[in-house]
Structure 1
């Protein structure tokens, strides 16, 4: 009975983490570029009660007697599936259709990666800098800040499907200006380290970032101007998962109550 108390408590702790993960998904259902997370579980160690079991005649049985000691969270996986594209009409909103991440220069000089393409122009000493809402510069395919000189009218800049910035010539035809939005890809995006503002960082589990992978090199990756990528969270699915997690938590709590009642009856034996 004491074993059942600890086993059930491990189930309650694990399901609480599951509920926390679902709550985070629902909280970010409208967050641009957010990717759904899912809690995964694994069993704990087993306790062997009998290595060899026999029947009444002493004949060995083909199975041993082992009791599980509960469950724990093994991982919280992120699903980098394509989210719906939402039209905003803003000139400096961009969405990646396909795999990949925008590259952002962090305050400490490192490179962060994000699927959120809601950018703005920030006035700097070098010119107009394409930056996130937090003021972090967006990088091009060469890992440099995207800066536009004073000769460019911000309202006339456009971006083609390959991520190339274009500006109209004398005949009002859009021409590339040798600036391309940088897109990075990873062999294992699920291994990326998450931080605030929808920024992820490279880790040993994710592998090194492959820079400069854009629509010119990968036909499955395109840039959409005037769009942002919405969250890939499905509210209905998350509500069903929440009900399942709540019922699992409730069943584990009932196991604790039943074990407590059994211990109480044992203590009251005369």
Structure 2
């Protein structure tokens, strides 16, 4: 067989063979430092690439002696300690394993079912604000407060829990400060929500054909936008992985209507105008007997 033919066969085989994915290790990091790549660039490479770092004490000492900056070493340690999240392209909407990729959003863990699963909570966006206490405000010359309430339709939520202290999972996308690289694109309004700490858990007052929650008040002393502290239900959250949080109320919730409320924008005027033009995104749920 002629040499040219052999070369052609070997080239074709090489092109058809799958390329192995890059995996960073300690040696690769030292090489990047040696060529003068900046700290920020190396850390970005660590965040974006699969890795297999050895972060034992002796290795860390060796990295420091080799000139690796402390910030890069810290990024290597963080990457090594991060929980492993499946990289499957399949995105789930109900898998009970929080480490399985899920579409962006808020989920209720239905662990009371014979086969536990996550229940996706559809977001309700409300830009309707109702006033309350106007008569008292008027009769007292503004001493008594007038309240503003976010209003959402229907008497009850589509998603319900049968336990009084349910567990929720929030999926964000830290790569672009919106929601999730696990599917769903730019889900969060304005792409600026990155933590459950930006939400308020509230209980709704149920009316004839709607639910209401206080989102501000106004009196002679001024205006306050957002859910008042006394109306917020405390909750804790735990970061399980980048963009993945477990959330649970600190207290048992009585049967009723609830929701995680995110006020994304308020009116630009002064006084009442700054409170009364809110747009809120609400992830509502019911607690049943």
Superposition TM-score, scaled by structure 2 size:
0.22
Normalising by structure 1, we get a TM-score of 0.23
Flag the structure with more relative contact order, 1 or 2, with Cα contacts below 8 A and sequence separation at least 6.
1
